[in-house]
A and B are shown apart, each in its own frame.
Chain A
């Protein structure tokens, strides 16, 4: 590397073009919106760590919710008295209106579970039935209709909430 020492010294003397004052102003403006992060040091960052756990928890909840729904519907055929579904949405009205339109047929339904929580055990008043666990899922459903003749499609997305009661066995 000694062959290059002179060249390296010359390169170090060469200075890159200075940054524009406009760039400094723009960064200053952008940082003003980051007042909650006053330093660039190496202190521990509990906020970010919490965010990480929050994301992890959300992901875990979604996976667990899907698993529970899968188990509920495939291992034990759904019983009308164990599952209650509450959907406060315009879906039913929209569905009726769009289906009534000539040529439109349902083409797909997507349900994304983005939140789920365990609301604990539910006991029947006279304890005649085994206790059940109440799980509440918040979902976003997207229904798509397609008109095969014109190629037109209609997509309706709405939030929905589902409450599932699953039997609990104690061993």
Chain B
């Protein structure tokens, strides 16, 4: 991808990054519609500031800070969502487009992961961020990011074992 992206290219960039960004934003929202709102605001903010689109870690950090800003904007709502969302409530709308039964099981397993592990998997698998970049986005250590990823994969294996 080129360093300088013309204004017309944002659609191409967004088509590539958008689905995983929405998936990531779901960590702080209760619905896909809210997650899309967060991604819209963050992407526009990121684009207007003329950051390099190659800096995906910064894009993720922008989504994260936008989502947190929205949570903080209404304390009552924040408390309600913090309890509902961060507890990993099982009421997520489907976040994947599985093509067969195996993928369906895998998608369900990912959605059952604790949020802190799920967000690391989302950034690592669907955006290929490094652990250093993930650590920067989440403001955690690189080791913690790597550990969460390993725990997530272990958990996924366990969840999927009976079906294999």
Contacts and interface: CB of A to CB of B under 8 A. Distances in A.
Interface of A: 1, 4, 7-8, 10-20, 22-24, 26-28, 30-31, 34, 37-43, 45, 48
B18 A14 contact: no
Contacts of A45: 49-50
A8 to B, nearest CB: 7
B20 interface: yes
Contact of B44 (A11, A17, A20, A34): A34
A41 B97 contact: no
Given A8-B153, A30-B40, A41-B3, A13 B48 contact: no
B123 interface: no
Interface residues of B, number: 47
Contacts, number: 116
A99 B146 CA distance: 67
A53 to B, nearest CB: 17
Given A8-B125, A39-B50, A41-B4, A17 B40 contact: no
A37 B97 CA distance: 35
B19 interface: yes
Closest 3 CB pairs of A and B: A41-B4, A16-B19, A19-B18
Contacts of A14: 96, 98, 103, 106-107, 110
A19 B10 CA distance: 14
A23 B34 CA distance: 11
B91 interface: no
Given A11-B110, A40-B53, 17 more contacts: A11-B106, A11-B121, A11-B125, A11-B156, A14-B96, A15-B19, A19-B14, A19-B15, A19-B22, A26-B40, A28-B11, A31-B10, A31-B48, A39-B4, A39-B50, A40-B5, A40-B47
